[in-house]
Amino acid sequence: NVEAIQREKPWVTVGTIGHVDHGKTTLTSAITKVLEAEGLAQYQTYDRIDSTIEEKRRGITINAASVNYQSKLRNYAHVDCPGHADYIKNMISGTVQMDGTILVVAATDSVMPQTKEHVILAKQIGVEDLVVYINKTDTVDDDEITQLVELEVRELLDIHGFDSDKIPFVAGSALYALNDKDPVKGRDSIINLVEMLDKHVRLPTRIVDKPFFFNVEKAITVKGRGTVAVGSLERGIIEKGNEAEILGKSGKIRTVISQIQMFYKEVPKAMSGDSIGALLRGVSKDKVRRGSIIAKPGSIKLVKKADVKLYVLSKEEGGRHTPFMKGYKPVVFSRMSAVSAIVTELKGGKEMVMPGEDVELTFEFVIPLAIEEGKRFTVRDSRKTIATGVATKIYS
Ligand code: GDP
Ligand code: MG
């Protein structure tokens, strides 16, 4: 009974990445076909996957298909995008967050421009767990070619900060798996691939395992007690007596959480997702306000400058109608706060950035901003979202 087992298995999100026509959609379909025979999936045809669902969020349209299957150990949600632009947008905006990814490389073509671009992006957004599937081995009759392709992919991975020795490679033919031909290159390669996903893609770290922080929605003074910061705990577990740091416009202030309230009742601790009021020992109300952050000391940095990767919305997506240049000054909204930022450098010798493009640039924040590498944000100007981005490097 598939239903019964399903609930006990953890969910992991993966996706296929790689150059156009290297076989991402064929492989996605083949996985469901092979696993259906094991009672672990429902076969999804190529056409069904490719006639994708439209997803609308933050004004960006991303075409992506989400397919589910199971291994013996896990439930997988698997994302396959139809076009290169969809991958770029999805990876930058994090609309679908991948815990790990399958890099598909056709043995006939080896490393191509989009292979490279997706590998770089995977690294920048913090998707570390990769499995490589060398596809279309049915068209090469020489094993040496497959080995050569593997070498080229390993070199690409190493150049871009992955440790290729730790990355498993599976060679096969998605088409053979789909058409029940040559079980070794076909079916077996898929079974092997799924086993590698189980072994090499780590389970997502639960948000409660990370250092706590929350955004202050409001601060109130309780007579005779002190200042209470109200907000919803974004991550971690907070306990009465914990040391904490207030990060805001006036810098960092140390304090102690002397009491935690939920629904007007005192509780010993609260966890990610809870709405809380935290009584801050020895803090006057002018030191904490809406937009301040309360965090485990040292866990969050205030940053003056960051390198980022942006996807700039096209006019049709509700974005700008005109390009922008160095010196442009929009507002950056991270999950934590909002500040004005100046584009101080456009990477790759770019002079201007057109709507609909993706770009790497440097932002300098007018007020230091709490942002971390791999974290997403949106960029706004004149009350509309004009871009979505991910921080790739922070400077403190
Ligand atoms: P995507 O753009 O990466 O999603 O690539 P597709 O899955 O759409 O495949 C592109 C083309 O390659 C299609 O014509 C597929 O039938 C073909 N193809 C996919 N996998 C294989 C394979 O293992 N062997 C061969 N010979 N062709 C394949
Ligand atoms: Mg495809």
Catalytic-residue membership of 25: yes
98 alpha carbon to ligand 1 midpoint, in Å?
23
Pocket of ligand 1 (CB under 6 A): 20-26, 135-136, 138-139, 173-175
Answer yes or no: are the C-beta atoms of 202 and 99 closer than 8 Å: yes
11 has a pLDDT exceeding 50: yes
For residue 112, the tally of other CB atoms under 10 A from its CB is 15
Which of the following is catalytic: 19, 22, 24, 375? 24
Distances 394 to 4, 132, 157, 364, 365 between C-alpha atoms, Å: 45, 29, 23, 10, 11
59 has a pLDDT exceeding 90: no
Instruction: Please identify, by atom number, the ligand 1 atom nearest to the C-alpha of residue 20.
Output: 2
Instruction: Please identify, by atom number, the ligand 1 atom nearest to the C-alpha of residue 174.
Output: 23
> pTM value?
0.86
Average pLDDT over residues 354-381: 92
133 alpha carbon to ligand 2 midpoint, in Å?
15
pLDDT at residue 1 in the model: 44
Q: What is the pLDDT of residues 70-118, one digit of tens each?
A: 999 999 999 999 889 999 988 998 888 899 999 999 999 999 999 999 9
6 has a pLDDT exceeding 60: no
For residue 396, the tally of other CB atoms under 10 A from its CB is 9
Catalytic-residue membership of 388: no
Distances 108 to 19, 174, 183 between C-alpha atoms, Å: 12, 13, 20
Helix, strand, coil percentages in the chain from 3-state DSSP, rounded to 5: 25, 40, 35
Average pLDDT over residues 151-163: 97
Closest protein CA for atom 11 of ligand 1:
21
pLDDT at residue 57 in the model: 52
Check: complex ipTM more than 0.95: yes
141 has a pLDDT exceeding 90: no
Which of the following is catalytic: 13, 16, 25, 385? 25
pLDDT at residue 7 in the model: 58
166 has a pLDDT exceeding 60: yes
Catalytic-residue membership of 21: yes
337 has a pLDDT exceeding 80: no
pLDDT at residue 55 in the model: 59
- Residue by residue, DSSP assigns 244-313 as EEEEETTEEEEEEEEEEEETTEEESEEETT-EEEEEETT--GGG--TT-EEESTTSS-EEEEEEEEEEEP
